[in-house]
Amino acid sequence: MATRYDYAQQARTYDRTRAASPSVLAPLHRALASAPGPRVLDVGGGTGNYAAALHEQGLEPLVVDRSPDMLAVAAGKGLPVLRGDADALPVGDRSLDAVMLVSMLHHVPRWEQALAEARRVLVPGGRLALMAFAREHLEVHWVTGYFPATTASFRDAHQTLDELRAAVPGAVVQPLRYEDVVDGSMAALCRRPHLLLDAEVHRQTSYFERAATDHPEELADGLARLRADLAAGRHPEDERPERRARLGDAILLTGTAA
């Protein structure tokens, strides 16, 4: 199974801007705290930033990722790692107390199968925690308006809110709001627009990686327009407060295995 992006190049620099965000970590830990035990499978866990943070809080994460480069970084943090695909987990049935998928489902073409796999490996009463950016959040993230072609090509990779709810039946749904840029995703960077102008920061996001690869002229033009708007005192992050208040910047769905 191929993911939509290859993180081999990003692995070397990912942790410079993509640590575990307190805005995500706190509700994620609460979601996992009521699992039957401490064993957590971090699917698509990359360099293990969230796994490492949860390990410090008493959980026992195992990081699964298809990128050996990302896993090498996670292993260097003392985390157990396992190479595998999200839609064909190399883990036995009913063997984990919890599964988490953090900011990765839009990279998985067979995402419904990935969630089925997550449910398969959970013990009865196990917790499934899915943190995702839904398609509707592209309208919350105002920066997409500066890069219309990139946004159009990025849109279909994201599930709708209804699709996510249907894929995790009975889940508790919680909107998440970034109050920090510790994990410099595109959504978090929208809260600090000037950081979007820094190539070393925005290049660690799949959105801007797509823009640089597929639409370089649009990327240059959009950044120039954003720079001009900020210099003129226009703050686009304040344009969509009602939508952000309703949807959040991302969503956390927490389900319980039968």
Query: Positive or negative, the Cα torsion across 117, 135, 165, 96?
Result: positive
CB atoms within 10 A of CB 94: 12
First to last CA, the chain: 27
Tokens 């686009």 locate to 236
| pTM for this model (two decimals) | 0.93
Query: pLDDT per position in the chain (258 positions), as tens?
Result: 445 556 666 777 898 999 999 999 999 999 999 999 999 999 999 999 999 999 999 999 999 999 999 999 999 999 999 999 999 999 999 999 999 999 999 999 999 999 999 999 999 999 999 999 999 999 899 999 999 999 999 999 999 999 999 999 999 999 999 999 999 999 999 989 999 999 999 999 999 999 999 999 999 999 999 999 999 998 776 666 888 989 999 999 999 999
The rounded radius of gyration (Å) of the Cα atoms in the chain is: 18
- 8 Å CB contact between 136 and 79: no
- 8 Å CB contact between 180 and 21: yes
Which pair of structure tokens corresponds to residue 166?
């249907």
Spatial separation of the C-alpha atoms in residues 199 and 97, rounded to whole Å: 39
Long-range contacts of 6-9 (CB under 8 A, 24+ apart): 6/67, 7/46, 7/67, 7/69, 7/70, 8/67, 8/69
